[in-house]
Amino acid sequence: MASALSDKLARLVKEMRGQARITESNVQDMLREVRMALLEADVALPVVRDFIARVKEKALGQEVVGSLKPGQALVGIVNRELAATMGEGQAQLNLNVQPPAVILMAGLQGAGKTTTTAKIARLLREKFKKKVLTVSGDVYRPAAIEQLKTVTAQAGAEWFPSTPEQKPLEIAQAALDYAKKHFFDVLIVDTAGRLAIDEVLMAEIQSLHAALNPAETLFVVDAMQGQDAINTAKAFSEALPLTGIVLTKLDGDSRGGAALSVRHITGAPIKFAGVSEKIDGIEIFDAERHAGRILG
Ligand code: GDP
């Protein structure tokens, strides 16, 4: 990996010493480094462009021009803008509805939906003393239903059985009825993923959304997905009113630029980060820390 952005910017700042004012060309040089860093972190190109334009506008405004240390001021703007972009919005789950509050999990196959379903179930149960039911609508992969059963048991929550012979809508309705009857606080509905976006998948999850009226619709996305994350996020956010994002596999070695892309495209807040395969491997997303990781 190329040397860290902060080192490169420090060098440029050094070259600027003695200058009373930052010039447009200084800003251009620095923004070129920022652009490179974002691309190296796999932030999607249109998102990088938009971000750089916003930073430039701020940098050329009074915040930098006329400041005693324009270089540091610019670094500060980049950091703050990045953290603000990713950290905007309500990070807490909003489950303030007539129980059972439904959480609908959306995302591609392998993104980490089933694992995250169990992680959230455990979190709600242990930290917030909620009574949580999970159900799988993945009728295409019996193994996925079994996997949810296993991880739900690890979470200490209850699992509602489903079979590949049923229709996802039928399953979801039965689980919701059961959750109501047995006074569950939360029902988490895991859904089928596909390796790529397809219309059948989207229509199915849209009908689940309409029937369940979920309090939260979480889009689960693999932080390692890099540039592709933007297309996936676009398709899901056009199909569903997403209320939050879960960025998984942040324990991997990616710089996690997908966070910025997905936040930009969906407009939904990033609520959680997946940080291991284990049941307790989930954290509230920390935008400032993540900004540092993206910039390297
Ligand atoms: P789904 O197809 O979307 O339901 O994805 P799964 O929940 O089955 O996850 C796919 C794979 O990613 C599994 O091997 C999980 O253990 C793994 N996984 C999920 N979340 C994380 C995470 O935050 N970190 C790591 N390292 N692995 C994860």
pLDDT in tens, 118-154: 999 999 999 999 999 999 999 999 999 999 999 999 9
Beta strand spans in the chain (E) = 101-106, 132-136, 158-160, 186-190, 216-222, 244-248, 270-274, 282-284
Q: Within 10 Å of residue 105's Cβ, how many Cβ atoms?
A: 27
CB 86 within 8 A of CB 287: yes
pLDDT in tens, 273-294: 999 999 999 999 999 999 888 8
Report CA(250)–ligand 1 centroid distance (Å). Answer: 11
Q: Quote ipTM for the complex.
A: 0.99
Which of 113, 248, 280 has most ligand 1 atoms within 8 Å of CB, for mutation? 248
Exposure of 144 by Cβ count < 10 A (0-12 exposed, 13-18 middle, 19+ buried)?
Answer: buried
Q: Within 10 Å of residue 25's Cβ, how many Cβ atoms?
A: 8
Exposure of 217 by Cβ count < 10 A (0-12 exposed, 13-18 middle, 19+ buried)?
Answer: buried
- What is the side-by-side strand order in the sheet with 158-160? 158-160, 132-136, 186-190, 101-106, 216-222, 244-248, 270-274, 282-284
Q: How far apart are CA 105 and CA 94, in angstroms?
A: 14
User: With a threshold of 0.80, does the pTM exceed it?
Assistant: yes
194 is in an annotated binding site: yes
Tokens of 89: 């919005």
> Rg (Cα) of the chain, in Å, rounded?
22
User: What is the rounded average pLDDT of the residues 103-124?
Assistant: 97
Residues with CB under 6 A from ligand 1: 107, 109-115, 193, 248-249, 251, 274-277, 281
Q: Kindly report the CA angle at 209 between 130 and 145, in degrees rounded to 5? A: 65
